[in-house]
């Protein structure tokens, strides 16, 4: 029996997740990729497994994978692969990381999975088919006001000295119940999809960090755009994803911050 794209992606993500747990037990060391970005043996082994499986199942499909072992071809199908999202957490034994894969057809995301092997949670979605957590349909939260929301953000390691997100972090922390920084963008998005978070934003993500999570949020009834309210570009500079109800309130606050206007002044030292 031939499995659907999504079923195949889920099987592969689970297999890669089990592999990550073996590496976690062995406490693998890390190397630096650039100035501050960590990479481990586990990232590479997981990517190898995923890319091998995808190549044997879908030999004509393009693969864009974080550690560089994919191949972009001419197929209308393209897989985005993050073999270990949350590498810094993983390298320190902080229990928040995942494997994530998504499939795009002719520029549209059609299937995605985020697998958390520690909690054995499979978040998955197909375009038009809803979003699921371990076979149960999920929906975004119902929070209607930013002041009652729990949101999350992230700070990429690459070029971190240029990241302006700290300005946004302060304003949003003051305007909400709190801002979490879990260190695993795909799980942040999956948590928006299932209502554990009301929203998430980040600058400088890559397509493999967000592709599956974006589809999850959309299929769970949420809203995704860039941080200025434009259509999200997977290769664009920033992302905002939330339950839809608080989207315009967040965009208003973001537009003030982009203009350098602070509703909440920084505390004096």
Rg over alpha carbons for the chain, rounded to the nearest Å, is: 18
Q: Which partner in ligand IPD, Ca ion, none is near 154 (CB below 5 to 8 A by kind)? A: ligand IPD
Q: Which of 202, 209, 218, 219 binds Ca ion (CB under 5 A)?
A: 209
Which stretch, 53-61, 111-119, 138-146, 202-210, contacts ligand IPD (CB under 6 A)?
A: 202-210
Planar angle of CA 100, 101, 106, nearest 5 degrees: 145
CA distances from 29 to 26, 37, 40, 92, 176 (A): 9, 14, 6, 9, 37
Q: Which partner in Ca ion, ligand IPD, none is near 155 (CB below 5 to 8 A by kind)? A: ligand IPD
Minimum separation from the CB atom of position 244 to ligand IPD (A): 23
58 vs 155, which CB is nearer to ligand IPD?
Answer: 155
Minimum separation from the CB atom of position 105 to ligand IPD (A): 24
> For residues 113-132, which are near ligand IPD according to CB under 6 A?
none
Minimum separation from the CB atom of position 154 to ligand IPD (A): 3
Task: Find the helix packing angle between 185-193 and 207-219, rounded to 10°.
Answer: 0
Which stretch, 44-52, 56-64, 201-209, 232-240, contacts Ca ion (CB under 5 A)?
A: 201-209
209 binds ligand IPD (CB under 6 A): yes
Q: Which of 17, 51, 61, 82 binds Ca ion (CB under 5 A)?
A: 82
Residue nearest Ca ion, CB atom distance: 85
Q: Which of 47, 67, 85, 126 binds ligand IPD (CB under 6 A)?
A: 85
- Each residue 149-188 as x (binds ligand IPD by CB under 6 A) or -, in order, gives -----xxx--------------------------xxx---
Beta strands in the chain (DSSP E): 30-33, 37-40, 62-65, 77-85, 98-105, 108-116, 121-126, 131-133, 136-138, 150-153, 178-180, 199-203, 223-225, 238-242
Distance between CA atoms of 224 and 170, rounded to whole angstroms? 22
9's enclosing H/E stretch is helix 5-25
Pair 56, 89: CB distance under 8 Å: no
Q: What is the largest CA-CA distance in the chain?
A: 65
Sign of dihedral through CA atoms 149, 127, 154, 250?
A: negative
Which stretch, 142-150, 207-215, 235-243, 248-256, contacts Ca ion (CB under 5 A)?
A: 207-215
Distance between CA atoms of 12 and 259, rounded to whole angstroms? 44
85 vs 104, which CB is nearer to Ca ion?
Answer: 85
CA distances from 125 to 89, 110, 166 (A): 25, 8, 32
22's enclosing H/E stretch is helix 5-25
Which stretch, 85-93, 131-139, 167-175, 189-197, contacts Ca ion (CB under 5 A)?
A: 85-93
Task: Tell me which residues touch Ca ion (CB under 5 A).
Answer: 66, 82, 84-85, 209
Residues that bind ligand IPD (CB under 6 A): 82, 85-87, 154-156, 183-185, 202, 205, 209
């Amino acid at each position: 029996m031939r499995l659907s794209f999504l079923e195949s992606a889920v099987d592969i993500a689970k297999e890669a997740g089990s592999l990550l747990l073996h590496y976690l037990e062995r406490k693998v060391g890390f190397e630096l990729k650039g100035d501050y970005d960590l990479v481990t043996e586990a990232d590479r082994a997981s990517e190898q497994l995923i890319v091998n499986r995808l190549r044997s199942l879908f030999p004509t499909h393009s693969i864009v994978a974080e550690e560089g072992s994919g191949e972009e071809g001419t197929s209308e199908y393209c897989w985005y692969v993050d073999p270990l999202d949350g590498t810094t957490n993983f390298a320190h034994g902080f229990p928040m990381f995942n494997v994530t894969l998504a499939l795009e057809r002719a520029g549209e995301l059609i299937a995605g999975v985020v697998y958390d092997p520690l909690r054995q949670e499979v978040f998955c979605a197909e375009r038009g088919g809803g979003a699921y957590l371990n076979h149960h349909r999920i929906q975004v939260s119902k929070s209607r006001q930013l002041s009652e929301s729990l949101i999350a953000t992230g700070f990429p390691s690459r070029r971190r000295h240029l990241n302006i997100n700290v300005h946004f972090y302060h304003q949003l922390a003051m305007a909400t119940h709190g801002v979490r920084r879990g260190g695993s963008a795909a799980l942040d998005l999956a948590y928006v999809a299932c209502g554990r978070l009301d929203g998430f934003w980040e600058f400088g993500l890559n397509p493999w960090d967000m592709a599956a999570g974006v589809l999850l949020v959309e299929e769970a009834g949420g809203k995704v755009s860039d941080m200025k309210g434009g259509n999200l570009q997977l290769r664009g500079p920033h992302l905002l994803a939330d339950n839809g109800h608080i989207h315009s309130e967040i965009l208003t606050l973001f537009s003030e911050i982009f203009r350098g206007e602070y509703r909440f002044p920084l505390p004096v030292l």
